[in-house]
Structure 1
């Protein structure tokens, strides 16, 4: 039996590893496509890109692992069935649950590992990737000097190049405006040709200019302002070669402070989420109570005896508001109505603004509970997908990357659509977080139980030949009955 278990495990681990990395690669490509606009043109080093992909891979694992489990189990059992190895095991008296025992144990370990990964590793990687993505988005684009366009990326300078040789890097008709001293465009440099290259540490840009002139307006420091129409003397310097060094500020990656993202629900584990949710719920309940007291004490609901002890206020008779209103003079009636309308409008505005605030806070609390349930749904999804893939593979008896891939992708799409729909409903407070996050697993779990039962009883539910034979028999029966009716004598 140990030999059989090793054989089944060996047949399963290979497809599991392969499908996991293939799935991860596809999801990483989707991640890069999503953030391509933020990454391209920033001059990021390879170690930064590798770090970003590493953290992104960890964040995509909750989606890749269930799909890999489904596809690997379907391929493994399909291969065993297609090669008649599964039939040989059953002929030897080994039942399907006995064959799947080592895979079930392995899936349990994978599910437990997935839970600990979601609870301990994923919050850390979410914190890292959130900080890194924010830093990349805030970084300046890579310094690229285009032909015929002013470049203002270098602080204090505007540079324009008329022509640039793509092979040698030689630039012609170089125009540089220097306004680094907040003196507008008082210093201008023009060169017939030159080169511009950054230093090895990317901190400076060295411009080597040939055959040019430098112009600088001469201003009187005692006169703070000049009219743009006023003509000023200028100094002109001619050079055959001149070297200008520009300091490149803001082009290196400035990492943001991680403390800005530590309070996010995506960067917390289960204990932290429970603590945060409890604090938010208490604060929300306190605010609701304060809101109720404020509405009662103010506007049309206010009580002139509010705050007094109950024994100090004696109620001698009930007050009829309509009778009291009818005793008022016409002018006071109008005044009373205006005050009542003012109180009503004020209360309505306060209730409306408070409603939006309460709704936002409820959604924020729900986000924490959604993230709390997500820690468990990943592990449970691996378990559910295994009990869909393994029995289904034993039923269809098709291995390889053809039919199993199609069926796996179909089931995963169904799961994913149900999952994101439930999560969206939970975020919008249509459903509670438990129902929104678990509905996809609860829908697919009965399907897994049904397929496991059918596979154990050697059902032909997924065998196309079975249905084709049934259809042929049906048509054959209909044709025979029609002929029998035509040949039978008619009776008057």
Structure 2
């Protein structure tokens, strides 16, 4: 009997393999298409080397792996155990007195190893891949568009020049009715050039000659700072200009020289930042403690509220010799002038304290938001990989109970579950980053809910226990 169970356990593991690989690579393909659709505008028309585009795709595959693996586990589990139940193998095991948990245990153990490997990948490989991808995105974004003139459209893609061309012959690279504005930079004077025709001749990848034919130029020169511009007019039959295209070439930067965000850091690095932010909060609180010279106290002022007080009191006592003040210290003096100065000085200190208090509160709130953001990422590096284990606990009993092992039915159930899962994860992240819930609650709530449901269903399959029995026993 034990040999039969061991053989069945191995067979169930094999049944998981093909659906898992098929679903995993299908999801990777879908996520890759989504990535290309979102970023195709940043990659086309900039003459970016194909190797850079390939590297950008490869580095972005890392986050796709973390997302696709748990989803593939759920589909594979529903298919494998659905097929197992569809063939009435579970009925045979139950009749032999075998607990269904024995056929779930090896797959569950495998999911734990998958969780460990995926968590390591998410903590060590994914941040580095995200940093390289982020650096490449920045390099591509700051790269200027290629030298792409269009008829009747101003073009300022080359520093120091603005072009306006009425007609372009793409076959011969000829330009017609050219207007060129040259800006005063790089030891060149401001100039205005008009030509009937022009011809583009490439010198190298970083230089281009523009041959202008039949035109004139207006050059604005200034002999010294205090003198007016001198306009020099020249007529030409042919004039050659050299355009520097070096700024248009793609420049690769070092990813390590760029600052890292929460998604490009390991958990250890983020926890170090969180610790430093907590210390900064303590330092901000010490600012209030040290600022005790203006700390309002009912013992000194005789009032419970202080920030609503204004200068009206001082203005009202201007024309009398003395006044009764609601502030205890002022009643000591009988001179109105001294009372006015005491009121004015007290209100000044209170306003300074209010400004300090608001500044400290704003700084603390900002640091709390940053702490929440980092802790969300720390929990996310574990909660998403742990979904591999959760989906086994949930998917195995659901697959057994549905008794359908086809891909369509498994995909349908997976779509519903995963939709709720990702919506809960995204909303939990937003709520945690807004300090409405804790990072742990935001990232782990749905995992815990699915785990509880899965454990209950496994117990129900193993023992026949039902929640209805509890209520029936109470009655």
TM-score over 0.5 for the pair:
yes
Per-residue deviation, 1:196 = 5.8
Bigger Cα displacement from structure 2, 255-264 vs 6-15: 255-264
Inter-CA distance 178–286: structure 2 relative to 1 (3 Å threshold):
closer
1:5 aligned to 2:6? no
Inter-CA distance 197–101: structure 2 relative to 1 (3 Å threshold):
farther
1:308-327 → structure 2 map (5 Å cutoff): 324-327=329-332
Q: Residue in 1 aligned with 2:100?
A: 96
Inter-CA distance 361–117: structure 2 relative to 1 (3 Å threshold):
same
Q: Residue in 2 aligned with 1:476?
A: none
Inter-CA distance 198–163: structure 2 relative to 1 (3 Å threshold):
farther
Per-residue deviation, 1:446 = 0.6
1:76 aligned to 2:80? yes
Q: 1:254 aligns with which of 251, 261, 264?
A: 251
Q: 1:143 aligns with which of 147, 155, 159?
A: 147
Alpha-carbon displacement from aligned partner over 1:463-487 (angstroms, at most 9, x marks no partner): xxxxxxxxxxxxxxxxxxxxxxxxx
TM-score calculated relative to the size of structure 2: 0.80
Q: Residue in 1 aligned with 2:162?
A: 158
Q: Residue in 2 aligned with 1:213?
A: 214
Per-residue deviation, 1:132 = 1.7
Inter-CA distance 149–277: structure 2 relative to 1 (3 Å threshold):
same
Q: Residue in 2 aligned with 1:373?
A: 379
Per-residue deviation, 1:371 = 2.3
TM-score calculated relative to the size of structure 1: 0.77
Contact kept in structure 2, 1:154 and 1:249, CA below 8 Å: no
Per-residue deviation, 1:388 = 1.3
Inter-CA distance 122–380: structure 2 relative to 1 (3 Å threshold):
same
Contact kept in structure 1, 2:198 and 2:210, CA below 8 Å: no
Inter-CA distance 70–246: structure 2 relative to 1 (3 Å threshold):
same
Q: Residue in 1 aligned with 2:294?
A: 298
Query: Partners of 2:267 and 2:426 in 1: how far apart?
Result: 21
Query: Partners of 1:324 and 1:208 in 2: how far apart?
Result: 87
Alpha-carbon displacement from aligned partner over 1:383-432 (angstroms, at most 9, x marks no partner): 10121122211111223332222211211122222222222222222233
Bigger Cα displacement from structure 2, 248-257 vs 159-168: 159-168
Inter-CA distance 44–93: structure 2 relative to 1 (3 Å threshold):
farther
Contact kept in structure 1, 2:217 and 2:235, CA below 8 Å: yes
Aligned length: 436
Per-residue deviation, 1:244 = 4.7
SS of match in other structure, 1:236: strand
Contact kept in structure 1, 2:189 and 2:221, CA below 8 Å: no
Contact kept in structure 2, 1:174 and 1:194, CA below 8 Å: no
Per-residue deviation, 1:342 = 2.2
Inter-CA distance 166–456: structure 2 relative to 1 (3 Å threshold):
farther
1:162-181 → structure 2 map (5 Å cutoff): 162-165=166-169, 170-179=174-183, 181=187
Q: 2:333 aligns with which of 322, 328, 344?
A: 328
SS of match in other structure, 1:185: strand
Q: Residue in 2 aligned with 1:344?
A: 350
Contact kept in structure 1, 2:379 and 2:439, CA below 8 Å: yes
1:57 aligned to 2:61? yes
Q: Residue in 2 aligned with 1:422?
A: 428
Query: Partners of 1:408 and 1:147 in 2: how far apart?
Result: 53
SS of match in other structure, 1:429: coil
Query: Partners of 1:449 and 1:331 in 2: how far apart?
Result: 79
Contact kept in structure 1, 2:294 and 2:350, CA below 8 Å: no
Q: Residue in 2 aligned with 1:235?
A: 234
Query: Partners of 2:221 and 2:134 in 1: how far apart?
Result: 52
Q: 2:49 aligns with which of 17, 23, 45?
A: 45
Q: Residue in 2 aligned with 1:311?
A: none
Q: Residue in 2 aligned with 1:399?
A: 405
Per-residue deviation, 1:359 = 0.6
Q: Residue in 1 aligned with 2:280?
A: 283
Per-residue deviation, 1:110 = 0.7
1:188-203 → structure 2 map (5 Å cutoff): 188=193, 190-192=195-197, 194-195=199-200, 199=204, 202-203=205-206
Alpha-carbon displacement from aligned partner over 1:422-450 (angstroms, at most 9, x marks no partner): 22222222233222222221122111112
SS of match in other structure, 2:166: strand
Inter-CA distance 233–99: structure 2 relative to 1 (3 Å threshold):
closer
1:204 aligned to 2:207? yes
Q: Which runs of 5+ in 2 are unaligned?
A: 301-324, 468-475
Q: Which runs of 5+ in 1 are unaligned?
A: 305-319, 462-492
Q: 1:353 aligns with which of 343, 356, 359?
A: 359
Query: Partners of 2:141 and 2:376 in 1: how far apart?
Result: 27
Query: Partners of 2:332 and 2:181 in 1: how far apart?
Result: 83
Inter-CA distance 322–183: structure 2 relative to 1 (3 Å threshold):
closer
Q: 1:116 aligns with which of 120, 132, 143?
A: 120
Query: Partners of 1:365 and 1:332 in 2: how far apart?
Result: 49
Two-structure CA RMSD over aligned residues (Å)? 3.4
Contact kept in structure 1, 2:209 and 2:240, CA below 8 Å: yes
Alpha-carbon displacement from aligned partner over 1:329-385 (angstroms, at most 9, x marks no partner): 334333333332222222112111210111111222222222222222123221101
Per-residue deviation, 1:18 = 1.6
Query: Partners of 1:224 and 1:125 in 2: how far apart?
Result: 53
SS of match in other structure, 1:250: helix
Alpha-carbon displacement from aligned partner over 1:232-265 (angstroms, at most 9, x marks no partner): 55332314xx765422132223334434545533
